[in-house]
Chain A
Amino acid sequence: MNVKMKILQGLLVTFAGLSSLLSSAQTPGVTDKEIVIGLFAPLSGPLVSYGIDPLNAAKMIYEDVNNKGGINGRKIRLVIEDDKCTGNDLLGVAKKLITVDNVFILHGGSCTAAIAAAQEYIQREKVPFVMLNAAGDNAVFPPTRYMFGSFQGTQRVYGSALSEFAIKSLKAKRIAIIVHDDDYGKANLAAAKAVISRLGGEVVAEEKIPPNISDITAPVLNLRASKPDAILSGAYPAPAVLLAQKYGEFGMTNIPLLQSTQGMPTPSVYAKNVGNPDALKNLYHTWSFTDIAKEDVKERMLAMYKKSNPDREPGPFMVTGVPSALAVVDTLQRMGKDLTREKFVDAMEKLNLNSDLMTGPLQFSATRRDALRTVEVVKFDGKSQKVMPDYYSWNGKDGN
């Protein structure tokens, strides 16, 4: 009996040990000493300004964690790739990171359309995908299990915030909207229209422009002809500048111009490109970070960045790479030592992270994949930025 029991015990111990070994061997990108994360962003191509600094910022957060001893005894190792903000390139990068580099999770992407192109593959491979800094409307609505993002708010959040600000703070009634004719623009427009209708305003013009528009005269003439009290814009950087130029040229500067975040990745460059101080005297934009109002937060971020990237002067968009990295680190810390991709997804769904960098909490749930729903509105006169008193939150329904 004793001998049999000892043999049985021995077998059980061996089996337990083997299963533990197998379990850890079966989780790609995780060893006793490291967690491998695939980090990517546009590092070349026309949308590179969305990618380099944010990727460096995410890298600096991981480096900081490693310098403090890692997460539960493991260091983070990054495999960095360039997705060029195109669907084909991002899908290729995701495939390479999953099949060749065997990463634990994917962390990257600055452009919603490119991420959405990889969504089906991600769901099939069951690999957690944490967006770097894309607004991500298409990829998070409807929510899917492995996709997490919108750490600086979706287009729904921006459209909703600017509409509420226009009506409540600027007392505007007649509102003209100009957005792109893509899913990004449609999401912004739908939320804006819903809020304007709910608050008793009127949409007097809806101009949908292609992202590659080179002459914006006609849509601006249409906006002008609608005699609005405020103009809401969901334009990308180049069309946003063209819009402000024409708005200034056509003497419309007494009408407040409200621009969503993505149109002004670097406000100083935006102001220089617009080139007409008069066009900036009634300009507002959304922002998801507290670094404008809180000098200490800004200084802390800049100091961390300079330590990690001594040769590069970051633009303001740098901070957009921070919250997603903070969320990954927080989730890994909460998970303890036992890491699997499925457990990562379960832990990510319980994210409720309050950071002094953000204008609101970063939250997910079983039915929610967009992290941030609260933003601030900033007045920018070309030289200085002033944060408006209230925060604006999307209610999760308007425009959905």
Chain B
Amino acid sequence: MGLFNLILQGIISGVVTGCVYALVALSLVIVYKATDVVNFAGGELVMIGAYIGLLLLMWLDWPYVVIFLITPVFTYALGVLFSRFALEKINRKKTTSSTVLVSFVIATIALSDMLKGIVRVIPFTEEVRRLPPLFSGPPLFLGDLVIQPQDIVIVVVASLVMLMLWVLFGYTMVGKALRATSQNERAASLIGIPVKSVKSAIWGLSAMVASIAGLLLAPKLLMTPDMGNMVMLAFAAAIIGGFSSLPGCVVGGILLGIVQNMVGIFISPQAIAVTPFFVIMLVLLIRPQGFFDKTLAYKKV
């Protein structure tokens, strides 16, 4: 395999994993934009999505299409419940806006540990598991290059979810209500938007997107109760794009997937694990607002 093909294969594979990183980053950014909360349970929502899929496959032997429809329903409910029974209660007892934000973040850490704990007590999670391939079939060979049908499915599904989010936020009344709430809660409330319900819906939506990422990731990267640690990659992707830019985290995710593979090929596989941290530091030093977020771009008048 020549160097050009080696790089090309690395890019193809990077785009596939990058699409999944982008989805997880989107789930974090949706919540951050609407509530100012950094969701540290984002990775565990990915993990829960994967394990719900596994349970449905093992116990009920449902086809993937049904699993992709049912799993997000469960995780949507989980997100809504978390918002209603944890965050709203904390919010009612708030003293100042800064302390309540800290409490919210700690609540997400608690949710993360709780989800891991729940999965660990299920007996068959002792072993590393994997979901079956999303799509079985012979790989496509383009000379030395190999493209798996499953990878095509991952890119297509991830792109569809991103497209749906774009349509939801840009062209629907629900999306406009979500955006209004995230921009000015009080004003949104005054024009009749049910802010509490909208906030719960945002948590539900975020959990939904994370669980779809989990279902896409589990056939490729294996399942353990600790697979949520991949959230660091999503943080890196979100920071590249700017933590409040939805298109930014899509580009950030794909870029990160490619950079990881290039680091593995040209520097060392040992450096792959530190790549996201390095990227986070680099972006924060060079352009702290990310490459797509314009909130810190002030103009002199």
A and B associate? yes
Question: Does chain A have a CB within 8 A of B260?
Answer: yes
With A218-B261, A218-B269 given, is the CB distance from A275 to B130 under 8 Å?
yes
When the two chains form the complex, which single residue of B9, B126, B141, B227 contacts A52, counting CB atoms closer than 8 Å? B126
Contacting residues, chain A, for B139 (C-beta < 8 A) = 249, 251
Interface string of A212-245 (1 = CB under 8 A from B): 1111111101101100000000000110011001
Cβ-defined contact, A269 with B128, below 8 A? yes
Cβ-defined contact, A222 with B269, below 8 A? yes
Number of chain A interface residues as a range: 35 or more
Cβ-defined contact, A217 with B261, below 8 A? yes
Cβ-defined contact, A208 with B10, below 8 A? no
With A212-B229, A251-B139, A275-B133 given, is the CB distance from A48 to B270 under 8 Å?
no
Q: How far is the CA of A272 from the CA of B219 in the complex (A)?
A: 11
CB distance from A236 to the nearest CB of B (A): 9
Cβ-defined contact, A242 with B222, below 8 A? yes
Q: How far is the CA of A241 from the CA of B273 in the complex (A)?
A: 18
Cβ-defined contact, B270 with A273, below 8 A? no
CB distance from B107 to the nearest CB of A (A): 24
Q: How far is the CA of A242 from the CA of B146 in the complex (A)?
A: 16
Q: How far is the CA of A275 from the CA of B130 in the complex (A)?
A: 8
CB contact list, B188-234 vs A, under 8 A: 219-222, 224-227, 229-230, 233
Contacting residues, chain B, for A17 (C-beta < 8 A) = none
With A181-B270, A275-B130 given, is the CB distance from A221 to B1 under 8 Å?
yes
Cβ-defined contact, A275 with B132, below 8 A? yes
| A248: nearest chain-B partner, CB-CB | B139
Contacting residues, chain B, for A222 (C-beta < 8 A) = 264-265, 269
Cβ-defined contact, B222 with A238, below 8 A? yes
Q: How far is the CA of A265 from the CA of B127 in the complex (A)?
A: 9
CB distance from A309 to the nearest CB of B (A): 13
Cβ-defined contact, A217 with B132, below 8 A? no
Residue from the set A222, A265, A266 with the largest chain B CB neighbour count within 10 Å: A222
Binding site for A on B (CB under 8 A): 1, 6, 9-10, 13-14, 17, 120, 126-130, 132-133, 139, 141, 146, 148, 219-222, 224-227, 229-230, 233, 257, 260-265, 268-270, 272-273
Q: List 22 A-B contacts (CB under 8 A).
A: A45-B120, A48-B120, A49-B126, A209-B269, A213-B272, A214-B221, A214-B227, A214-B230, A214-B233, A215-B221, A215-B272, A217-B13, A217-B17, A218-B262, A218-B265, A237-B127, A241-B222, A251-B141, A266-B127, A269-B127, A269-B128, A273-B130
Q: A238-B128, A241-B128, A315-B127 given; name 13 further pairs at CB < 8 Å.
A: A49-B128, A209-B272, A210-B269, A214-B221, A215-B17, A215-B272, A221-B261, A241-B130, A249-B148, A265-B127, A269-B128, A272-B130, A275-B132
